Amino acid sequence: MASKVDLAIIGAGPHALTLVTHLLKKRQKIRSKIAVFDPSGGWLHQWKQQFAALGIPHLRSPAAHHPDPNAFALRKFAEPRPHELFAPYDLPGTKLFDDFCGDVIRRWNLENAVTPGEITCIEPLPHSFRPWLHLWLKDGKSIIARRVVLATGSSQFQIPDWVSQIQTPYPQDRLCHSQLIDLRKLQLAGERILIVGGGLTSGHLAIGALSLMAKVDIFIRRQLQEKIFDAEPGWLGPKYLKAFFAEPNFHNRWRMIKEARNGGSITPAMGVQLRRERRQGQVRIYENTQVVKAEWLGNYWLIKTNKGEQYEYDRIWLSTGTHFDVHSQPLLENILQAYPISVVNGLPVLEHNLCWHGCPLFLMGGLAALQIGPTARNLSGARMASEKLEKAIIKSAVIPYQAILA
């Protein structure tokens, strides 16, 4: 018989950790009712992997944004290490943030809170007087949960159309998305690399490739944008969010999100680095430039652009970002079928508390953007989502497990 839990959290990244600490702050007794599932069996595994793979020196979010309920906890932790807070706005260094999160996990006694296991299916439990959920793991085991929070990131790679039109077979490592690249495992001396995209990840990839003695070109479909944050700081508080939450039309909310994020951008600090490398002839940046055709000619790429120019490269890296589409989530297939809800350009219209209508499933991250705002996928969005979820989860009445068979 399947084991039973009161609250199952799928994923063990920053959003999940933020939620658990917020819940424990409100009610310590809830600890025994929570089960966290992640293939890695530990906290922040994928987060740490992505930062290390690209050699990212510090976060883009200020020190106020982190998984602990106390907004000042990271600044306090950093007092003996002030040199690891980067200007402007005290952006925490990667090592500092990792150490702080480790401290959060220890202080909240969460070292062994993550169960190793990949949830592959969520389905409503039939014949129950309340809509419990049945979770299936990759190893064939299953769990029955009264409530489930999906906190996995849940984004899809954004791949340009020209990639699907490539007719020649090519080695998979010669054309790949940025999230599949690990600079630590590459030898690039003398190689010519094309990076497609103008976001901060493009900058990290370029600097990393240059450090490995490669030559780098960056194609950007518009002008290079510089912004300190993904979205203006006004989106972290009532300055912009008041109007956003007052907007009843979710199509309008989606447009507000799109305009606020406005595509990829680099930080001013990254801009300084890239311009320095460009002056030294190490990197070339092509604005208003897109690939229209790519051919693999046995051992190199031949690229044609919208400007009629041709270039040759050894590798192409797609730093084209990700997008959120509830219809592309295998975990949500059964939920969509059993509990159909409105979807706006891939984003589900959830209830105010981030609950899927009619079903005890809650979403965090980018899929909750219509209820959180443009920073839903960021650390600040994790805090805002946790504040909504803690009210819904803590206040809901506890139903005896025997009721599941009623």
Beta bridge partners, 124, equal 133
CA distance 250 to 235: 17
Nearest to 347 by CA among 231, 253, 241, 274: 253
* HSE of 74, CA atoms in CB hemisphere, 13 A: 27
pLDDT-based confidence at residue 332 (cuts at 50, 70, 90): very high
What pLDDT, on a 0 to 100 scale, did the predictor assign at position 405? Answer: 39
Residue 401: pLDDT band (50, 70, 90) is: very low
Banded model confidence at residue 1, pLDDT cuts 50, 70, 90 = low
Average pLDDT, stretch 167-184?
A: 96
- Cβ atoms of 306 and 239 closer than 8 Å: no
| pLDDT band for position 287 (cuts 50, 70, 90) | very high
Report residue 322 as tokens: 């990700």
* Pairing of β 156-157 and β 215-219: unpaired
Phi/psi for 163 (5° steps) reads -65, -40
pLDDT given for residue 395 in this prediction? 78
DSSP per-residue string spanning 270-305? HHHHHHHHHHTTSEEEETT--EEEEEE-SSSEEEEE
Positive or negative, the Cα torsion across 280, 204, 79, 234? positive
Backbone angles phi, psi at 111, to 5 degrees: -55, -35
Instruction: Tell me 314's DSSP state.
Output: S
Token reading at 295: 């051919």
The pLDDT of residue 127 is above 80: no
Average pLDDT, the chain: 94
pLDDT of residue 403: 42
Q: What angle do CA 92, 98, 100 make, to 5 degrees?
A: 75
pLDDT digits (tens, 9 = 90+) for 245-280: 999 999 999 999 999 998 889 999 999 999 999 999
What's the Cα-to-Cα distance from 173 to each of 88, 178, 182, 315, 330, rounded to whole Å? 36, 11, 11, 8, 26
Mean pLDDT of 162-189: 97
Q: Residue 323 carries which DSSP code?
A: E
- pLDDT beyond 70 at 129: no
- Among 3.90.650.10, 3.50.50.60, 3.40.630.30, 3.30.420.480, name the CATH number for the domain at 3-155+323-405: 3.50.50.60
d(CA 400, CA 403): 6
For the chain, the structural domain boundaries read: 3-155+323-405, 158-225+263-321
Q: What is the pLDDT of residue 262?
A: 87
Q: Please tell me if the domain spanning 3-155+323-405 has the same topology as the one spanning 158-225+263-321.
A: yes
Predicted pLDDT of residue 398: 44
Token pair recorded at residue 135: 């979770």
Tell whether the model's pLDDT for residue 399 goes beyond 50: no
For residue 299, pLDDT over 70 is answered with yes
**Residue 293: its pLDDT value, please?**
98
Which CATH code for domain 158-225+263-321?
3.50.50.60
Cα distance between residue 257 and residue 254, in whole Å:
5
> If 0-12 CB within 10 Å is exposed, 13-18 middle and 19+ buried, where does residue 80 land?
exposed
Please state, for a pLDDT cut of 70, what percent of the chain lies above it: 96
For residues 211-224, give the mean pLDDT.
97
pLDDT in tens, 14-39: 999 999 999 999 999 999 999 999 99
Beta strand extents in 3-110 (DSSP E only) = 3-10, 34-38, 85-86, 91-92
Would the pLDDT of 304 be above 50?
yes
Distance CA 218, CA 169 (A): 24
Please report which confidence band the pLDDT of residue 230 belongs to, taking 50, 70 and 90 as the band edges.
confident
Residue 404 has a pLDDT of: 39
User: pLDDT tens digits for 60-108?
Assistant: 999 999 999 999 999 999 999 999 999 988 999 999 999 999 999 999 9
Q: In this predicted structure, what is the pLDDT of residue 126?
A: 73
Q: Is the peptide bond before 88 cis (omega within 30 degrees of 0)?
A: yes
Q: Are 131 and 148 in contact (CB under 8 A)?
A: no
In the predicted model, is pLDDT for residue 406 greater than 60?
Answer: no
Residues 333-363 pLDDT 10s:
999 999 999 999 999 999 999 999 999 999 9
